[in-house]
Each structure stands twice: as structure tokens, then as C-alpha cells.
Amino acid sequence: MENNLSVKQMSLQEKFTDLSLKQSKLAILPNLNFADNTSFNSGRRQNPTNFTLITQSSITTGMQLQSSADIFNWFSKKNTIAANEWEMQAAKANTDKLKNDIALAVANFYLQVLLAKEQENITTVQLQQSQAQLSNTRKMVDAGALPELNAAELEAQVARDSANVIAAAGNITTAILNLKAYMSIPADQPFDIESPTVDKIPVDPIADLQPDAVYASALANLPQQRYNGFKLKAAAKNAQVSKAAMYPTIAGFGGLNTNYISIVSGNIKTDPFFKQLNTNFSQSVGININVPIFNGGSAKTNYKRSLLTINNLELQKEIDNQKIKQDIYGAYNNALVALEKFNAGKKTLDASERTYNFAKKRYDVGMLATFELITNQNNLLRAKLEYVLNQFDYVFKMKVLEFYKGQGLKL
């Protein structure tokens, strides 16, 4: 999570919404602005200090300090703050959703690495067995007790087993590269994982993960569902803001004003700067009432748009709820199938081990051909690989159900 670029991007979106929230809170305060207008003037015009007509060139300065504050605006700013607070919660939930998606993908790739390593171990043991059989058979062939065909068949088997080991090692590298990519770790950076046996990975009993209970928990806990809820609440507040724009608003205002003039041509004398500012000082205070009558229907249209936005978000929430329900029931069914395959694979593996052991004993006393021994050995290899594949598949399917239940990921 610390390295992932998508998470960093989503964190920036959180900061954007946080800025909007802070700005909306500051917007309830009165505004205050100072203005200064200084100009050089020539030709006939009015003296801004005594309103007489003059023709001399002059420099004039006018200064204003003005403030205004809303008195009543149908809670527009209050609802804007509330909407931005819900948007902030939605942004956080969206980040949580992204983190969950990444965590689930990382868990999957982590299990893929474990599976690849387990497959490498199995193929390595198979290769060692084939090499030992070839060594013993070669001695018997050299002694004339067995034909050369036996050794040739085992040499071919050793070659196939060596290729399987190489392929398994390549699968480990690929799985680690995929894992590093999701963790934003450079491809050339040395990296490995802890490799506990799959039996050590905690898995909840499937009886505790019934789909109806998981779905109820998902609606309350999953970030996507929380995100939809927050967006709906924000949209409802924004609709109230849009509605307020159709009604009159009342604001208070006040201002301080003063002027100064300096004649730069002729022999006319003017009062000193600060004296003029004091003499020309004026104040104003008042009430502003703004009544929207007709503005091209923009306020009413915006309000209708906000209602459509609410309807759209309600539909999206229902769509997401239906999808998560379908996903959960599908995940439960997949977990059941994976469990049955895992149990069936265990029986197949046990049977294959017994068959191979019997075949090995018969081969050692010369009662079984090399080809038949190799066939049983390959059957055992396939059973082992299928067993660990089913085991990891079952674990991941269960982790998906635990994830939907809101328990996080325990590996």
C-alpha cells in the first residue's frame, strides 16, 4: 500500500475533497476586501473630493474597505458543508475499496508463488527419484541383469523430469514478478517471500460463511457499499443547495470609503494627504435582498438535475448490491466445488501413492517393466500436482468469501 501508485493517486483525490470541505466551511464567514484606485488625470473632470469641475492635471486616490455576510440563504452553505463532508467520507471509502482490490490481487499472487514453489519441490523430488532409479538400473544393465531398453526409458524420464523442474522454476519467477508489480516493487530488485506450508494458512469453516450471512455483512462493511451510501447522502444535500438557489436570499453589507487628490499643474493648493482622507471619510451599511425571478430556468434546471443524480446513484447502489450478492453466491459455490475437488484429489493422491509403492516393489524384484513403473510414477506426479493445485485453489476461494464478509485477509 505504501508503494502502490494507484493508492497514491487516490490519496490525492482525498486531499482534493478535503480542500473543498475546508473551503466550504470558510465560506460561511463574512468576506472583507480592501481596494485602492490611484490614477493620473488630465482634462476637464470632477474633483472627487469636493465635486467641483477642474481642468488641471491631478493624481487621485480612492480607497474602500468593504464587507458582506449572508443573513439567510435557506441553509445553502450549511448543506454545502454537509455535502462536502459526505464526499470526503466517500473518497475515503473509495480508497479503501482500491486497497481491498489490491490486497485481494496481492493475496492471489502470493498464493501463486507458494503454489509454484510447492510444484517445484514436487518436480524436484520426482527428478531425484528418476535419477536414483536410472543409477540403479544402469548398474544392473552394465552387469547384464537388465536390457539396455530399461536404462534408455529411464534416461528419457529423467530428461522429462528435468524439463518439469525448469518449467516450475520459471513459474516461480513469473509469479514473483506479478506479485512485485502489484506491490510496485522494481522488477530488478531482489525479493522473496516467506513460504509457510499451505496447511498453516488459517481458513474459516465453510459453515461459518453461508452466503446470506456474508451478503448481509458485505452490505455493512465493504467499501463499495459504504461509498454508494456516502455519495447518496452527499447528493441529497447538494439537491437542497440547488433548491435554495430558487428562493430569495438576504445579506448584510458595509463599507468604508475615502478619497485624495493632488493637483500637479497650476497654483492650486490641496490639503495634506491624511487630512483629505479624514475629511472625505464616509461609511455605508445596508441590507441586500436578492430575489430570483427569471434566469433562463437555470436554477430550476439545476435542481431537477440534482434529483436525477440522486435517482442515478440509487440505481447504481442497487446495481452494485445485486452484483455483490451474485458474486458472493458465486464465490460460495466456487468454494464448495473447490473443497470437493480438494477432497477428491486427496483420495486420488492416496490411491496413486499406494499404486506406485506396489509397482516399485514389483519393479525391484523384476516383476514389472520399466515403462509400467514410469507410468505409475507419472500418475503419482500428476496426482501430487493436482492435489496442491486444488488445495491452493480451495484456500483462495475461501479467502474471497472471508474478504466479502469483511474479515480482511489472513494469510
Residue 219: CATH number of its domain: 1.20.1600.10
Query: In the predicted model, what is the mean pLDDT of the chain?
Result: 91
Residue-level length of the chain:
411
Among residues of the chain, what percentage have pLDDT more than 70? 100
Domains of the chain: total? 1
* Burial tier of 53 (Cβ tally within 10 Å: 0-12, 13-18, 19+): exposed
In a domain, 108, yes or no: yes
pLDDT tens digits, one per residue of 136-191: 889 989 998 888 998 999 999 999 999 999 999 999 999 999 999 888 889 999 99
pLDDT at 140: 87
Residue range of the domain that includes 344: 73-247+292-404
In a domain, 11, yes or no: no
Cross-strand bridge partners of residue 258: 63
In a domain, 107, yes or no: yes
pLDDT-derived band at 203 (thresholds 50, 70, 90) equals confident
∠116-118-119 over CA atoms, to 5°? 65
pLDDT tens digits, one per residue of 252-306: 999 999 999 888 876 777 888 899 999 999 999 999 999 999 888 999 999 999 9
Q: Is the pLDDT of residue 61 over 80?
A: yes
Q: Are 9 and 99 in contact (CB under 8 A)?
A: no
In a domain, 354, yes or no: yes
In a domain, 385, yes or no: yes
Helix (H) / strand (E) containing 140: helix 76-142
> Rounded to whole angstroms, what are the CA distances from 260 to 49, 249, 263?
7, 36, 10
In a domain, 382, yes or no: yes
Q: How far apart are CA 337 and CA 343, in angstroms?
A: 10
Predicted TM-score (pTM) of this structure: 0.80
> Rounded to whole angstroms, what are the CA distances from 309 to 83, 230, 242, 387?
14, 13, 12, 51
> Rounded to whole angstroms, what are the CA distances from 315 to 218, 228, 311, 319?
18, 10, 6, 6
In a domain, 14, yes or no: no
In a domain, 387, yes or no: yes
Q: Are 348 and 390 in contact (CB under 8 A)?
A: no
pLDDT at 204: 86
Q: Is 75 left (phi over 0), alpha (psi -120 to 50) or beta?
A: left
pLDDT at 177: 94
Helices (H), 245-297: 273-279
